[in-house]
A and B are shown apart, each in its own frame.
Chain A
Amino acid sequence: MSRKKNILKVIILGDSGVGKTSLMHRYVNDKYSQQYKATIGADFLTKEVIVNDDKVATMQVWDTAGQERFQSLGVAFYRGADCCVLVYDVTNGKSFDNVKSWRDEFLVHANVSSPETFPFVILANKVDVEESKKVVSSRSAQEQAKSLGNVPLFFTSAKDSINVQDAFEEIARSALQQSQSDADAYEDDLSEAINIQLDGEPSSCNC
């Protein structure tokens, strides 16, 4: 007797230490902790969102352990993902370099039906650090976002709460669009129902 809810499943990926968990906590709880704690497996937080001013949905933000690549996360983790957020650290060139690999790994593991239209969002995190420590230029980031199919790119800081809200609003919009277009025809039809008469004799019965 459960009711269907409009749930938007968002998965955050990126190298270890780029700030995935911090971004999630900043967005969901508006909190930030300086202390680094490795994520074990995967974990998710939820937040009610209003998209396009009128649609209410529950955003389920799935955080992952960047240390491990995808092998430890099962099909249940990826199934039904509506948006994938790729995070890199502007002070870590390798994490930027790996954004494309994370995207590819996600596509392969999540069995995305149409990779061309599946929404990704890139977050360039830790922009609060001083300029001299930044190794990934904005230009390179924009070029990469363009080469990956004009993926929206946001320069964020979970620490100073820069752009996090805007980024997740875009994520929610993309996820909602995806969830509306990705209805599963095979599963839906199984639950499609027709009316019957309870008191009447079943038509097939001859007794």
Chain B
Amino acid sequence: MLTTRRISSTVLEDVQCLGRLSSWDKTVVIRKNGDFDIYTNEGLHTYRKLWNEPILDMGYSEALSTLFVQCEQSLVLFNVGNMEQYDKIIDRRGILKFWCLENRCDNEIDQKTVVVILLNTKVPRLKIFIWVSRKFSKVVEIQLSSKRETIASVALVDQGAVIATNHGIYIWKTGSSVLTSIDSVVTPKWSASLSASLKVLHNSVDGTTRNDNESLTESHTWSSIANLWSSDRRRTRSCRALRYLFGPNHNVCILLDGQSQRLLELQSSDEGLFYLKALPYDHFFQVNFDFNACEYLGSNFIVLYNTSTIWVVDYEQGFEYLKVRVTDGIKRVFQQSPVEIMVWTLSDVIEIYRIDVDEDLDMKTDTLGGSMFDLNLETLEKRIVFYKSILKSNYISSMNITDDDSETRISYTMKLRDLYIVYALQIFDKAQKLHSKGEKIGLNANTTNIYEKMSYQIFRIFLQFLAPPVLIISFCFPDNCEIIRRKFAIKNQFFRETSTELSAALIRKGFLPYLTETRRHVKNISKEKDTYWSYNDVSLKLTLSFFESHNQAELSVANILTIIDTTLFEMYVKYNRSMVGPLVRVDNNCDFDTVEEILNKENMVHELIDFYYFNNEHRKALDLLTEILDRTGDLKPGIKTLVIEYLKNLEFTDLDLVFQYSDYLLEKFPDESFDIIMLLFLRPLPFSKELDHQRIYEYIDSKRSDLSLSYLEFVVGELQSSETVIFCTLLKRYLEHINNSSTVRKLHAVLKSSKNYDAKRVLKILRNAMNGYDNINSLELRALKYITVYPINMLGDHQTALTILWGELHDYQQSSDYCNTVYQNDNDAGTLLLMEFLDKIIVFDNGHKKPQFLKLFLIEHGSKLQSDKVLLKLPEDMPIADLSSFFHMELKKNTAEQNQLKLLKDILYSELTKANFKLANVLSEFFIFSEERKCPICGKLLKNTSADSLAIMTYRNKTYVMYSSCAKKLQAKIKHDEEPFNAKRIPLLSELL
């Protein structure tokens, strides 16, 4: 997958030491004579005789811009910019080895933590120097267990440093003076690699059926898989002594451990305890063993090398992507850039190799065909890991193929998708065949467990990469492809003969999320809404072609949706029945005939009724229900309720159908007509207000006249309907029974509580009703007169209302209440009406009652009217005693007003005193300043000149003395700042003219 070419070769002389300054893209070569040769893209620059002691090693800190040079008893610090020595750390006991580490977090460079670790030559002791944000922080010393303990590798993590020695792995928490041994090491039960799981499945099933003919036909593929694990264990493992720590990102630290032959990741428990967890792959050391040094390259790539060969592999599964033989022998390998490595050869030559991608390499296939489906599993997995890694790294942008690398990214992402889907399908096929074979001989629980986990992983791949649904459905679930076979003439080669049942839990957790997510995207496409799929930083706007496979016949988006939805439906029926209802009730594209057939077959009546309802097949639904009703015995009440509930939902859309089936119910259950009508029409629904009430009323009236009145009351009372026809009909129905006191009460209640009826029409109806009575004093006529007051009031004709209540009915109390109500709503109109009422009482010809009414009127309403006007109107013969309460009230009212005014005056006076106090405080403010005091605005010396006066001003809670002119400017600025942002003042017309 990767190729390399040597792009440069530089011969070095008398080399003592070599290192890379990665962020400066420089290579430093320290020669035996003390010269520092700096190699850059622009050439060579030499600093002559910089250090004359023997130099053992070097390290570099980007944050400190420092090159650390290790001598026998000292560590010398050079400034990288000019290579001047600026400090020196001396340890008389000698420095055996040192490490310079920087945390890899994305912080600003000057916030980084730098740690330098020195290992003492004579005693097993570490000296650790810490710099935080470029400032030296502290130094700590730590004892190692014995002199024989040697450090193999160190790495910095967020919590501190991880130190791998030949005795164990330790964590040193930043600043602490102890090393904590990490003793707990765990490994996952299951491999994360599907092909490794397939191998386990193969071993447990095929191990017992070795002579099976079918297994022999598969042998080609199996041998290729088996090769993955069959490492040549007889060979010497030079990686045994190696321990190498590296961090793919700032919160991940991995130990490549040659001793245990595992790759271990540092983890911390909920309690903050550290432990190592093996990566869920066991392939790496089975194929890579002949190396004794490593260099992490980035993403998933790592360089392994020995003295003659370099391998670039992925650190998880150890697939080899590049092998380079260096004839001169290898001393050390450095990463030069994401696409270049630098090799320091044994003959002191620096060789730079450029790494390129060659996608045609390693295309091992099982047949002669060139399709991805013909690639063997190893090749598929290797290519998957490769594209995954390359998309994770910054390799693509470093390739400089084009200015815009997004096309390459998209292309690699799509290849990765294809590879993953083919890989998953192949594994699925093989695993299912094995499982099917295993079922015949009796599988143990563990094998089934592996099979289910594999299937789950495969479904997650389908979901992650949104695999083409027709391909996946037909390949994985050929038994559920009836819809495809029946309705769509698809050229499809993915139907397979083998298919075994998967557990309901697996389908629910694995396959259904894939179907629903695909459904969502395809539905968005069908509605012409933008929909995207993302992988890493690639985001693709999806079109229908994304969901099609290359040899699939062309299908419309509606067809694909039908296939997905119908499959989803079938899966629900089979594996999660309670989801059938929700699915058929939401907007779906299920194939009508298939769903109808299956629901009928499965006797899922509720779901079928819902399905009919949401497909507007109401007659079918009702026919089905009534048919069941006709043939059921004990279930009749339940089914009857279902019919009624169904009909209720149709009242808004199809009233004729409601009446038709309501007739059926009334005919079938004549004794229950009351309940049926009540349940159907007299229960509130969210859309009840919008129904055709008149038609419903007429229908009920034709069936049950008593209930039709209840319906009218329900519409007017509960639904608060203001439909004139309904209101008037109710009125007419009530008027038929005006001799009944309860009906009169209802009439009062309806007219009093309803606010939106047609008053003129109501009044006309009432007057027509009154015309039918000859006896002017009949109770019915009086009742009607009282009732007419409501519409008259609504029309605003208060004089007429008063004439009826007082003039015709002589009802003082009702008249008084009426006037009072009018007065409460409108004082002016009320006053006029009250004066008119007073006039009417004065001319009232009942000499006995008149003084009583007058006295009552003055008590109740006297205070609302002007006393002088009232007094002028009162008859002269009215006893003064009757007026006492009127005067008393008047006096009380005036006194209250006077008190109110006095109170107001006192409050205002108190406010004035407060304001004067504040003013006096401001006027008494003073400031003492020296002759040198300057104005904070203009900077001139403050003088008490006649040209400009001084001002004291507070700005941002601080008081300043300044020139008045400056104070005005500052005031203007503050005002401007306080104005809304960017708010332009609109000029006035007068300013423009």
The chain A residues found within 8 Å of chain B, CB to CB, are 1-4, 70-72, 74-75, 79, 93-94, 96-97, 100-101, 103-105, 107-109, 111-116, 135-137, 140, 184-187, 189-200, 202, 205-207
Contact = CB atoms under 8 A, between A and B. Distances in A.
Given A1-B268, A71-B520, A195-B185, A111 B453 contact: no
B785 interface: no
A190 B513 contact: no
Contacts of B268: 1, 3
A1 B684 contact: no
Nearest to A98: B686
A10 B184 CA distance: 36
Interface stretch (B188-196, B772-780, B957-965): B188-196
A115 to B, nearest CB: 5
Given A71-B527, A186-B509, A196-B186, A140 B578 contact: no
B463 A75 contact: yes
Nearest to A147: B645
Contact of A193 (B259, B277, B289, B524): B277
Given A197-B185, A199-B260, A72 B529 contact: yes
Given A111-B512, A207-B233, A190 B190 contact: yes
A186 B506 contact: yes
Contact of A75 (B189, B513, B687, B689): B513
Given A72-B529, A193-B187, A104 B509 contact: no
A2 B252 CA distance: 10
B803 to A, nearest CB: 33
Nearest to B280: A190
Given A71-B520, A136-B686, A184 B578 contact: no
Given A75-B513, A104-B586, A140-B686, A195 B186 contact: yes
Interface in B232-274: 233-237, 251-252, 257, 259-262, 264, 266-270
Contacts of B579: 107-108, 112, 115
Contacts of B169: 198
Contacts of A93: 686-687
A207 B237 CA distance: 7
Determine which residue in A109, A185, A196, A197 has the highest number of CB atoms from chain B within 10 A of its CB, and name it.
Answer: A196
B105 interface: no
Interface in B504-530: 505-506, 508-510, 512-513, 516-517, 520, 523-524, 527, 529
B184 A195 contact: yes
Say what secondary structure dominates the interface of chain B. Answer: mixed
Given A74-B520, A111-B508, A140-B684, A4 B270 contact: yes
Given A1-B268, A74-B517, 20 more contacts: A1-B157, A71-B523, A71-B529, A71-B531, A72-B529, A75-B513, A101-B585, A104-B583, A104-B585, A105-B582, A108-B579, A137-B684, A185-B509, A189-B190, A190-B280, A191-B188, A192-B190, A193-B277, A195-B185, A207-B289
A75 B510 CA distance: 12
B643 interface: no
B578 A111 contact: no
A109 B686 contact: no
Contact of B505 (A113, A136, A187, A195): A113
Contact of A190 (B266, B267, B270, B453): B453
Given A1-B268, A200-B260, A111 B513 contact: yes
B452 interface: yes
Contact of A1 (B251, B452, B520): B251
A119 to B, nearest CB: 15
B509 A113 contact: yes
Nearest to B576: A113
Contacts of B517: 74-75
Determine which residue in A1, A79, A103, A194 has the highest number of CB atoms from chain B within 10 A of its CB, and name it.
Answer: A1
A91 to B, nearest CB: 12
A70 B189 CA distance: 38
B857 interface: no
Contacts of A193: 186-189, 277
B520 A70 contact: yes
A200 to B, nearest CB: 7
Given A104-B585, A104-B586, A113-B509, A190 B686 contact: no
Contacts of A192: 188-190
B581 interface: yes
Interface string B269-304: 110000011101000000001000000000000000
B513 A79 contact: yes
A1 B686 contact: no
Contacts of B661: none
Contacts of A2: 251
Contacts of B175: none
B524 A199 contact: no
A207 B235 contact: yes
Contacts of A100: 585
Contacts of B370: none
Given A71-B520, A107-B579, A198 B186 contact: no
A9 to B, nearest CB: 15
Given A109-B516, A186-B452, A116 B578 contact: yes
Interface string B859-901: 0000000000000000000000000000000000000000000
A198 B236 contact: no
19 contacts: A1-B157, A1-B266, A104-B585, A105-B586, A111-B516, A115-B576, A135-B686, A135-B689, A186-B456, A186-B510, A189-B190, A190-B280, A193-B188, A194-B187, A195-B184, A196-B185, A196-B260, A202-B260, A202-B261
Nearest to B259: A199
Contacts of B235: 207
Contacts of B578: 114-116
A191 B276 CA distance: 13
B158 to A, nearest CB: 8
